[in-house]
Structures are given as C-alpha cells and as structure tokens.
C-alpha cells in the first residue's frame, strides 16, 4: 500500500460495467455501500427479530437509535414531520454506519466522496422542495419571507434567505465530506510519521512516540466525529424538513 494519504480515497473497479459509454462499474465504493447497507439493515433486522418485550442489549441499541431519531424529528419538525421518519432514520443509519465502517483500517469510507454526500443532501433538499410545493403550493415560498420583518428590510432578508436555502445542499454535503476526508487524511499522515520516523533508528523510534500518541487520540476523535457528523446530518435534515412541513412558521 502506498504512503500517499489520498490513496485511501482511490476508487478501483471490481466488476467493470459500462452502459452507453458511461462507467457504472461495481467498485470498492459500491462494495462498501453494499456493506454499509447490509450492516445497518442486518443489525436492525436481527437485533429486533425476537421482538422482546424486555429488550436484549442489541435490541435496545436498535430501539435507542429509533427513539433518538424519532424524538429528534418530533422536536425538529413537529408531529406532522413524523411521516419523514423512515427517511431520516435511513439517512442517519446509512451515514453513521458508513462513517464507522470507514474507521476500519484498509476500509473504504463511502461518505468521504463528495458525490455521495452531495447526492444525499440533494435527496433531502429535493424532498423538502417537492413536498413543500405539493403540500402548500405557492405558500411554500413563505419559507423565504420570515414573519415580523419591517417592509424596508424585506427584499434584503428575502435575498439572504434564498441564498441560505440554496447553500443548504452544499453546506450539508461539504460538512460531512470534508470532516470524513480531513479526519482520515490526518490519521493517515500521523500514522505515516510513525513509520517514517521509526525507520530512522533509535532516535527516530523515540521521536515516533509523539505521532503515535497523536494517532491514538485522533482515532478516538474520529469515532466521535463519525457519530457527530451522522447526528448533525440528521438534525439538519429535520430542520430542513420542518420548512417543508411548516413554511414560514418559524
């Protein structure tokens, strides 16, 4: 394996597939998407298979994640927003599992690809826009007109609101992508230092202790980030869905 810290984001074909001149190969990214889905769905499926009245440990983890997202969505988007629960829960579990799987050495991190996070963000914003117009018609545009703003400031505020709305898919996707990417690169760089310094002899081995400690600390931090980014993604999804459910009702 190369020492290049961006090597881990390299996509390599496993089963080449080409349709209409476009490359739809089954790659390592695809493999880890499948693995992510299999792990997340498998965990939720098998841990709840007993439907125990008194939950086993695994079942209570599954229930906790369910209730965690359910209360998040209820607080964020009200009880009307609960129809989006399968979507938010799926997004959260998918991102969380992908992030955590990415923490295994030599594993590919699905969420470190901007196209993946951007697609997920567009899915969220697309849902907000489609549901908003479907449910409220043109009243959905009230999202851009906050109540209680004096008439003079209104054009400015509306402009700001439109820009902030348009930047949502970008901020949502880049936040997750950049966090995963930067975290994995930093880890790789510091662990690379350990190897490089270790090759320099006794003094180097002594010096390698610092980056080693750093690598251990960063690994802990990365697990935190893996969860936190999934959480942030879900919280923001809930907030954006709130606009679709209650436009102008801030």
Partner 1 sequence: MFVTPAFAQDGAPANGETHGAAGNVHTETGVAHGEHGTGVFPPFDQSTYPSQLLWLVITFGLFYLVMQKVIVPRVGGILEHRHDRIAQDLDEASRLKAEADAAVETYEKELAAARAKAGSIADQARDAAKTKAAADRAAIEAELSSKLSAAEARISDIKARAFAEVGTIAEETAAAIVDQLIGAKATPEDVKAAVAAAKLEA
> What b/e readout covers 197-233, taking b as 16+ CB neighbours within 10 angstroms?
bbeeeeeeeebbeebbebbeebeeebeebbeebbbbb
* Smallest distance, partner 1 to C-beta of residue 149, A: 38
Q: Per CB under 8 A, which of residues 148..207 are in contact with partner 1?
A: 177, 181, 185-186, 188-189, 192-193, 196-197, 199
Least distance CB 19 / partner 1 (angstroms): 9
CB 173 within 8 A of CB 121: yes
Question: Quick check: 112 binds partner 1 (CB under 8 A)?
Answer: yes
* Residue 116 C-beta: closest distance to partner 1, Å: 6
Site for partner 1 in 75-104 (CB under 8 A): 85-87, 89-90, 93-94
Is 23 a residue that touches partner 1 (CB under 8 A)?
A: yes
Q: What angle do CA 61, 33, 219 make, to 5 degrees?
A: 60
Nearer to partner 1, 141 or 205 (CB): 205
Smallest distance from partner 1 to CB 114, Å: 5
List the beta bridge partners of residue 19: 22
* Contact present, 98 and 109 (Cβ < 8 Å): yes
Q: Of 236, 128, 127, 85, whose CA–CA distance to 175 is shortest?
A: 236
- Inter-helix orientation angle 85-101/114-136, to 10°: 170
Binding residues for partner 1, per CB under 8 A?
Answer: 2-7, 9-12, 17, 22-27, 29-30, 33-34, 36-37, 40-41, 44-45, 48, 51-53, 55, 59, 62-63, 66-67, 85-87, 89-90, 93-94, 112-116, 119-120, 177, 181, 185-186, 188-189, 192-193, 196-197, 199
């Amino acid at each position: 394996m190369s020492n290049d810290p961006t090597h881990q984001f390299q996509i390599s074909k496993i089963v080449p597939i080409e349709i209409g001149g476009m490359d739809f190969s089954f790659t390592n990214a695809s493999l880890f998407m499948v693995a992510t889905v299999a792990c997340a769905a498998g965990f939720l499926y098998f841990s709840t298979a007993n439907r125990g009245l008194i939950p086993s440990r695994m079942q209570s983890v599954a229930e906790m994640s369910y209730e965690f997202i359910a209360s998040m969505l209820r607080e964020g988007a009200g009880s009307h927003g609960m129809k989006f629960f399968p979507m938010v829960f799926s997004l959260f579990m998918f991102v969380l599992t992908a992030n955590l799987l990415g923490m295994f050495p030599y594993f590919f991190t699905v969420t470190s690809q901007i196209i993946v996070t951007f697609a997920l963000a567009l899915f969220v914003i697309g849902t907000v826009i489609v549901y908003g117009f479907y449910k409220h018609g043109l009243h959905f545009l009230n999202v851009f007109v906050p109540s209680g703003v004096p008439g003079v400031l209104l054009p400015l505020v509306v402009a700001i609101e439109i820009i902030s709305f348009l930047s949502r898919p970008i901020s949502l996707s880049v936040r997750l992508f950049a966090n995963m990417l930067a975290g994995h690169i930093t880890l790789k760089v510091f662990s690379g230092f350990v190897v490089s310094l270790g090759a320099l002899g006794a003094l180097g081995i002594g010096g390698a202790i610092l980056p080693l400690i750093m690598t251990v600390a960063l690994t802990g931090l990365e697990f935190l980030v893996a969860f936190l980014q999934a959480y942030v993604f879900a919280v923001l999804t809930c907030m954006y869905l709130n606009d679709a459910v209650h436009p102008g009702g801030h």
